[in-house]
Structure 1
Amino acid sequence: MPQETREKILQAAIALMSLKGYSATTTKEISQLAGVSEMTLFRKYKTKQEILDNLIEKYTSSFQAKKIFVENDLVYDLEVDLANVSRTYQTFMNENKKVVLLAYKESGTHDEISERLTANPRLMKKFLMDYLLEMKRRDKIIPDINIELTVLSFMTMNLGFFSSQFISVKKVAVVSVEAFIEHSVKIFARGLKK
Structure 2
Amino acid sequence: MKTRTECLKEYGSDYFINQMVAEGKLFRVDKGIFSEKEYVPELALLSYKYPNAIITMDTAFYLYGFTDEVPDVCTMETKREAAPISDKRVKQIFMPKELLGQGRTTMEYKGYDLQIFDRERMLIELVRYKSKLPFNYYKEILGNYRRILPQLNTEKIRNYAEAVPKSDKVIRTLRTEVY
TM-score (norm 2): 0.30
Q: Quick one: higher RCO (CA 8 Å, sep 6+), 1 or 2?
A: 1
Higher strand proportion (structure 1 or 2): 2
Higher helix proportion (structure 1 or 2): 1
TM-score (norm 1): 0.29
